[in-house]
Chain A
Amino acid sequence: MKRLLKIYLQKPELAGAMLLVLLVIVFQQQSDGIFLNAQNLRGVLGILPEVALVAIGVTVLMICGEFDLSVGSVFALMPMVMAVSMGSGLPFAAAVALGFAACVAIGLVNGFVTIRFAIPSFITTLGMLFMARSLTVVISGGFPPPLSPDIPTDAFVGFVGPGQMIRMSFVWFVVIATLVSVMLSRTNVGNWIKATGGFHEAASSMGIPVDRVKLFCFVLCSVLAGFAGLLQVLRLGSPLPSIGEGLELQAVAAAVIGGTALAGGIGTVLGGVLGALLIRVIDNGLVLSRVDANWFKFAIGFLTIFAVVANAWLLSRAKRMKVET
């Protein structure tokens, strides 16, 4: 029993999960029951995949011991590449492939520069944040190109399911989150990612290809950010060059709230998703509770600090629990 409790206290996503339950109860009270009704949930779940997919990528990269600040810009760049290349006559599939190729390229550059020149990924990706955003504006020509009507929008953001409750984007998100989660916890690659972030020297002395593992995580992070951007653009119906500004910090906040360690080695996909969900819940719940919406950022900031402190506290409690090893 004690052993079980100890294991649960050590789960990095525990603090986030508890906060989520708490907030849902509070908002349900404060909004006179509107918060959990079907209409509102439909709205929250419709937007969730966009933040959550970015958060998943950032979480995996952080577990691997690196950092990506360029996700917000990649979020805007990928759909812009798609829209512009469709404007110049490419079919949808080719345009999307080109968009993803741009994401892969950015991930590779982020990873290569970070590893080759041994500089903090914070710097590399901060530079990339500006460069990718600038590229987005440049290729858009300053104003958003119209989206072609040939795009199978319904396959990405159409409403499906009983009562048209969820969007296709949510289905995509669930599938991707499950796959990444399985990869992280059940495959040897996941083991390598955790080992690389957990203790770099040990991982490389055990023959793990640490550089390639990192490169893979950078690329995965960029691709997921790009896909999330595509979902948002298809939902809004227009590729604005300014979307995703500030998203990189929200994604980091989501990962951290979900228990991912800044130093690497600790974290779960579920935690990142919980963090993203918390951010969406607060955004929505504050409005429904008739609180001035400008408190949103305050709440996210407070939550980030609180979640990390709570996690550290839970962990130290767990550590002090004596069970036989």
Chain B
Amino acid sequence: MNDPILSCRNLEKWYSGVHALKNVSLDIERGEALGLVGDNGAGKSTLIKLLSGVHLPDGGEIRMDGEPVRISSPRRAMDLGIETIYQYNSMVPNMSIARNLFIGREPMKFSVGRFGLLDLERMSRESVEAIANVDMHLRSPDALLAELSGGQRQGVAIARAMHFKSRVLILDEPTNHLSVKETDKVIGFVRGLREQGITGVFISHNMHHVFECCDRIVAMARGEIVLDRRVGETSIDEVHTYL
């Protein structure tokens, strides 16, 4: 089991004539926190979309634990244990915290095929536990998500990923539009991932955030990886010269 948890081999992606990913190869090691940086349009988001099942690559392959996998849909990615948190935080504001936590993966008391009656008690109970596990304290799982602050929402999203035993957590610009205090909270969550044995991929164009919570920095520019270093072996200034 020394294979990297996720391994991208020569990935290619075109968007209507634009070469968005050019022959990208990247190994993500088990348990590390990887920071992915780059300017807008550098290919970060494209790479993430391939890993989270939003798009399929036009060339190359993705391996998980050494086995080639075809991540054909977000659902498939989630089943493989790859969970993605977006800056808009993939939660529905007008639904309760408990319902948001289990969206698409609802526990059921009784079901016919994929459809059935929700186990509301279990959703309530487990969402309180899941949220407590990320050191957040919410009094009621029935409160609407819209009542939470931006940082709390990201906390719930991270609690959700942990609850479903995700193995790889991708955070796509999770600190955008957040206040300094809220950002610190999210960075704290990312630091906590390692203790839970979860591999993290943290995307940001704020270099300071990435250096604060990651073990390794990968920089992208014009659809290619231009730098790949341990945090201790590089500096913010050096990364900037590559972008």
- A and B held together in a complex: yes
Tell me which residues from 184 to 232 in chain A have a Cβ below 8 Å from any Cβ of chain B: 186-189, 191-192, 194-195, 198-199, 201-208
Of B52, B91, B104, B139, the residue contacting A199 (CB under 8 A) is: B91
Chain B, Cβ-Cβ closest to A265: B94
Residues in A whose Cβ lies below 8 Å from that of B89: 202
Residues in B whose Cβ lies below 8 Å from that of A292: none
By the criterion CB–CB under 8 Å, are A194 and B92 in contact?
Answer: yes
Chain B, Cβ-Cβ closest to A205: B90
Instruction: Known A188-B108, A191-B106, A265-B94; judge A205-B118 contact (CB<8 A).
Output: no
By the criterion CB–CB under 8 Å, are B140 and A186 in contact?
Answer: no
CA distance A199 to B93 in the complex (A): 8
Residues in B whose Cβ lies below 8 Å from that of A7: 142
Tell me which residues from 59 to 107 in chain B have a Cβ below 8 Å from any Cβ of chain A: 73-75, 78, 84, 86, 88-95, 99, 102-106
Residues in B whose Cβ lies below 8 Å from that of A325: 138-140, 143, 147-148, 152
Instruction: Known A194-B95, A202-B90; judge A208-B104 contact (CB<8 A).
Output: yes
CA distance A208 to B118 in the complex (A): 16
Instruction: Known A194-B95, A208-B104, A325-B148; judge A202-B143 contact (CB<8 A).
Output: no
Instruction: Known A187-B118, A206-B103; judge A194-B54 contact (CB<8 A).
Output: no
Residues in B whose Cβ lies below 8 Å from that of A10: 144
By the criterion CB–CB under 8 Å, are B92 and A195 in contact?
Answer: yes
Instruction: Known A187-B115, A188-B115, A191-B118; judge A208-B90 contact (CB<8 A).
Output: no
Contact string against A for B residues 194-225, beta-carbon threshold 8 Å, 1 for contact and 0 otherwise: 00000000000000000000000000000000
By the criterion CB–CB under 8 Å, are A207 and B106 in contact?
Answer: no
By the criterion CB–CB under 8 Å, are B75 and A186 in contact?
Answer: no
B117 in the interface (beta carbon within 8 A): yes
By the criterion CB–CB under 8 Å, are B148 and A203 in contact?
Answer: no
Q: How far is the CB of A3 from chain B (nearest CB, A)?
A: 7
Q: Which of the four size classes fits the interface of chain B? A: 35 or more
CA distance A134 to B78 in the complex (A): 47
Q: How far is the CB of A199 from chain B (nearest CB, A)?
A: 4
Q: How far is the CB of A213 from chain B (nearest CB, A)?
A: 11
By the criterion CB–CB under 8 Å, are B90 and A188 in contact?
Answer: no
Residues in B whose Cβ lies below 8 Å from that of A32: none
Q: How far is the CB of A202 from chain B (nearest CB, A)?
A: 4
By the criterion CB–CB under 8 Å, are A207 and B148 in contact?
Answer: no
Contact string against B for A residues 157-201, beta-carbon threshold 8 Å, 1 for contact and 0 otherwise: 000000000000000000000000010001111011011001101
Chain B, Cβ-Cβ closest to A194: B95
Q: How far is the CB of A282 from chain B (nearest CB, A)?
A: 29
Residues in A whose Cβ lies below 8 Å from that of B115: 187-189
CA distance A182 to B120 in the complex (A): 13
CA distance A11 to B106 in the complex (A): 23
Q: How many residues of A contact B (CB 8 A)?
A: 27
B41 in the interface (beta carbon within 8 A): no
Chain B, Cβ-Cβ closest to A199: B92
By the criterion CB–CB under 8 Å, are A186 and B88 in contact?
Answer: no
By the criterion CB–CB under 8 Å, are A207 and B74 in contact?
Answer: yes
Residues in B whose Cβ lies below 8 Å from that of A3: 140
Q: How far is the CB of B89 from chain A (nearest CB, A)?
A: 8
Residues in B whose Cβ lies below 8 Å from that of A203: 92, 103-104
Of A182, A205, A324, the residue contacting B54 (CB under 8 A) is: A205
Q: How far is the CB of A62 from chain B (nearest CB, A)?
A: 13
Chain B, Cβ-Cβ closest to A266: B94
Q: How far is the CB of A190 from chain B (nearest CB, A)?
A: 8
Instruction: Known A202-B91, A205-B54, A206-B104; judge A188-B74 contact (CB<8 A).
Output: no
B188 in the interface (beta carbon within 8 A): no
CA distance A206 to B104 in the complex (A): 6
By the criterion CB–CB under 8 Å, are B117 and A187 in contact?
Answer: yes
B192 in the interface (beta carbon within 8 A): no
Instruction: Known A203-B103, A207-B104, A324-B139; judge A194-B94 contact (CB<8 A).
Output: yes
By the criterion CB–CB under 8 Å, are B92 and A265 in contact?
Answer: yes
CA distance A179 to B106 in the complex (A): 19
Tell me which residues from 101 to 143 in chain B have a Cβ below 8 Å from any Cβ of chain A: 102-106, 108, 111, 114-118, 120, 138-140, 142-143
For this complex, 17 residue pairs linking A to B, each with C-beta atoms less than 8 Å apart, are A182-B117, A186-B120, A188-B118, A191-B99, A191-B103, A198-B94, A198-B95, A202-B89, A202-B91, A202-B103, A203-B104, A206-B78, A206-B104, A207-B104, A265-B92, A325-B139, A325-B147
Given contacts A199-B91, A207-B74, A207-B75, 19 further A-B contacts (CB under 8 A): A187-B117, A187-B118, A188-B115, A191-B102, A191-B103, A191-B106, A191-B118, A192-B104, A194-B99, A195-B92, A204-B74, A205-B84, A206-B78, A206-B103, A207-B78, A208-B104, A325-B139, A325-B143, A325-B147
